[in-house]
Amino acid sequence: MLLNNKNLQILKEFSSDYGKKIYGRMIADKLKMNQKTISNILIGLEKENILKYSTEGKNKYYFINRFNPQIKDIVIMIEIARKNEFINKNEKLKDLFYSLEKITQGVLIIFGSYASFTNNKESDLDVFVIGKIEDIKELESLYKIKINLVKSTKEKINKEDIFIREIMKNHIIIKGVEEFVNLIW
């Protein structure tokens, strides 16, 4: 059931913040799907112990079940699916993403306008690296794009930091999915 496209589409909504609580109507509105379909899928994911819920007023808020021992693997699958969707939607820059991946040791994340699919011709590519990356000047001139590079180390990552919380809300992990999920978990 998990690999069902609709289930994956709904679970992607929980990957912008692994502690996020969402109610069905929010998902239905965002994905332009039938409310009953969303409700049935959320109930199924809850029965499978992937999601939990709490009731606040009349709304049932769903969230990732962090007590499920397999949930990290599920989150990693969701992040990989988001990466594949992102690369397919940015076909012209596919080779750039692979080149960045090759020259990075550690975690490579795209954030900002590209990650939120609001980029335009003048947008720069916001890249966050946890680890090391080689010089990117050659890639910038080859692909005619300004790359805004932010670097950090594992030791400096604090999931309560404002910048890290912003990255969590809007990110595409190009390399190091498992490593990033473990850092943020």
Predicted TM-score of the model (pTM): 0.90
Angle at 159 between CA 113 and CA 73, to 5 degrees: 85
Query: What pLDDT digit, counting tens, does each position of 23-68 carry?
Result: 999 999 999 999 999 999 999 999 999 999 999 999 999 999 999 9
Is residue 129 a contact partner of residue 104, using CB atoms and an 8 Å limit?
A: yes
DSSP-based three-state secondary structure for 131 = strand
CATH number for the domain whose boundaries are 5-64 = 1.10.10.10
Q: Which residue has the tokens 């090759």?
A: 102
| pLDDT value at residue 28 | 95
* Statement: residue 2 has pLDDT above 70: no
Local confidence band at 1 (pLDDT 50, 70, 90 cut-offs): very low
| pLDDT value at residue 167 | 94
The dihedral over CA atoms of 55, 58, 165, 77, expressed in degrees to the nearest 10, equals 70
For the chain, give every domain's residue range: 5-64, 71-184
Q: Does domain 71-184 have CATH number 1.20.1070.10?
A: no
Query: What pLDDT digit, counting tens, does each position of 77-131 carry?
Result: 999 999 999 999 999 999 999 999 999 999 999 999 999 999 998 999 999 999 9
Local confidence band at 147 (pLDDT 50, 70, 90 cut-offs): very high
How does DSSP assign 43-111, residue by residue? HHHHHTTSEEEEEETTEEEEEE-TTSTTHHHHHHHHHHHHHHHHHHHTGGGHHHHHHHHHTEEEEEEEE
* Statement: residue 3 has pLDDT above 80: no
CA distance 153 to 94: 26
